[in-house]
Amino acid sequence: MALTDEAVRDALRTVRDPQLGRDLVALRMYDGAVIDGDAVTLHLTLPMHGYPAREELEQRVQTALTGAGASSVVIEVRVDVPAWQGSGEQAAIGGVKNIIAVASNKGGVGKSTIATNLAVALAESGAAVGLVDADATGPNLPTMFGLPNGFQAQSERGLHPVERFGVKVISLGFLLPPGAPVVWRGPMIGSAIRQLLHDVEWGEIDYLLIDLPPGTSDASMSMAQEAPIAGAVVVSTPQQVALEDASKAVTMFEKLDVPVFGIVENMSYFITPDTGQRVEIFGHGGARDAADDLEIDFLGEVPLATEVRAGGDDGQPIVAFDAENPAAEAFVGIAERVAVKAAASALMQAPTIPVL
């Protein structure tokens, strides 16, 4: 019996995406089929590169279509990262699909390190990635990306991101002439942030990560006012105080109407190089507990590792230079979870898909 378009579509309405929990038609992942008798060639659009649920999804599709009478099923897959629309109150940045803020309530917990390595991991997965260094108090991304001190991206033609390790980077540091004292006041920060977001030729970007300064600063406020942030990644270390700090950051984002993707625990444990013994220098699990208490996702833990620190100082992000290192593997896992969160929020935002 020859299959019809309608029968294929109906079969796919019964297939739930294992990661996103809704059917493929509602999620706009079904992109049409070529039907030849009872042989089907199906086009699917995945919402991220390196989609972890891909294999299981293809299995489910095979089963559903075979059940509907298909004798053979070929699945052709393409990737199109969906864009976060926001509430419409903030101006979207042309070409940028998802803005992701990396934040914490404290300095020195590893925001810049995490923003850098997540950006590189997402770029290595095949996504188009940008990274904004919005830390006026200490723009560290030039160093972490191996850019010389005093590097400037401003020319007569405007402000340009620099591409390193597949990531387009721009920094408040690029706006300062070499050797200039870093004195920013609230309104200056606001206008500098506006420039970094809106006056840059970004091109097509799937994920624009923003490395925020610590705390409830002017920069965080400006950021939330200037652009629709798809989600925030809150970074914490494992100490008891992690709970307090993380919940402050989460409360700030709630007040700013920014969704929180989850919490990352950095410097989670240390593996002694000679004995392989695991030492929990700052304790362990505080951030996971904080996430549970706050009812948000725990995105993963990154070990304390000399190579991570060295990679930051030498401008050689560990994800790009030492992929086998457990810390690099942790970053890749977190990047994947962040991309899943971004896909889920973009695909399920109202009003494109009504809530079931």
Ligand X SMILES: Nc1ncnc2c1ncn2[C@@H]1O[C@H](COP(=O)(O)OP(=O)(O)O)[C@@H](O)[C@H]1O
Listed in sequence order, the residues at least 6 apart from 343 whose beta carbon sits closer than 8 Å to its beta carbon are 19, 20, 47, 48, 81, 82
Residues forming beta bridges with residue 98, ordered by sequence position: 207
Among 120-128, 194-202, 307-315, 331-339, the segment contacting ligand X (CB under 6 A)? 307-315
Which does residue 133 touch among Mg ion, ligand X, none (CB within 5 to 8 A, set by kind)? none
Which does residue 16 touch among Mg ion, ligand X, none (CB within 5 to 8 A, set by kind)? none
Indicate which single residue of 62, 117, 140, 236 sits in contact with ligand X (rule: CB under 6 A). 140
Q: How far apart are CA 296 and CA 298, in angstroms?
A: 7
Based on the number of CB atoms within 10 Å of its own CB, is 284 exposed (0-12), middle (13-18) or buried (19 or more)?
Answer: middle
Q: Give, as ranges, the residues between 233 and 292 that touch ligand X (CB under 6 A).
A: 266-267
Among 1-9, 119-127, 299-307, 331-339, the segment contacting ligand X (CB under 6 A)? 299-307
Lay out the site mask for Mg ion across 125-144 (x = CB under 5 A, - = otherwise).
Answer: ----------x----x----
Name the one residue in this structure whose structure tokens are 């079931």. 356
> Cβ closer to Mg ion: 140 or 236?
140
Indicate which single residue of 62, 98, 112, 125 sits in contact with ligand X (rule: CB under 6 A). 112
Which does residue 109 touch among Mg ion, ligand X, none (CB within 5 to 8 A, set by kind)? ligand X
Among 13-21, 192-200, 242-250, 298-306, the segment contacting ligand X (CB under 6 A)? 298-306
Could you tell me if 319 and 123 are in contact, meaning their C-beta atoms sit under 8 angstroms apart?
A: no
Indicate which single residue of 99, 109, 205, 343 sits in contact with ligand X (rule: CB under 6 A). 109
Q: How far apart are CA 199 and CA 90, in angstroms?
A: 15
From the CB of residue 223, how many other CB atoms can be counted at a distance below 10 Å?
A: 29
Q: Is 305 in the site for ligand X (CB under 6 A)?
A: yes
> Cβ closer to ligand X: 163 or 313?
313
Which does residue 37 touch among ligand X, Mg ion, none (CB within 5 to 8 A, set by kind)? none
Based on the number of CB atoms within 10 Å of its own CB, is 327 exposed (0-12), middle (13-18) or buried (19 or more)?
Answer: buried
Q: Would you say how long the chain is, in residues?
A: 356
Indicate which single residue of 47, 82, 86, 110 sits in contact with ligand X (rule: CB under 6 A). 110
Q: What angle do CA 291, 319, 327 make, to 5 degrees?
A: 50
Smallest gap from Cβ 104 to Mg ion, in A, equals 9
> Cβ closer to ligand X: 109 or 340?
109
Q: Is 112 in the site for Mg ion (CB under 5 A)?
A: yes
Listed in sequence order, the residues at least 6 apart from 239 whose beta carbon sits closer than 8 Å to its beta carbon are 282, 283, 286
| E strand segments, the chain | 30-36, 39-46, 72-79, 96-103, 129-133, 154-155, 158-159, 162-164, 167-171, 205-211, 229-236, 260-271, 278-279, 298-304
Q: Point out which residues bind ligand X (CB under 6 A).
A: 104, 107-113, 140, 266-267, 302, 304-305, 308-309, 312, 327
Q: Point out which residues bind Mg ion (CB under 5 A).
A: 111-112, 135, 140
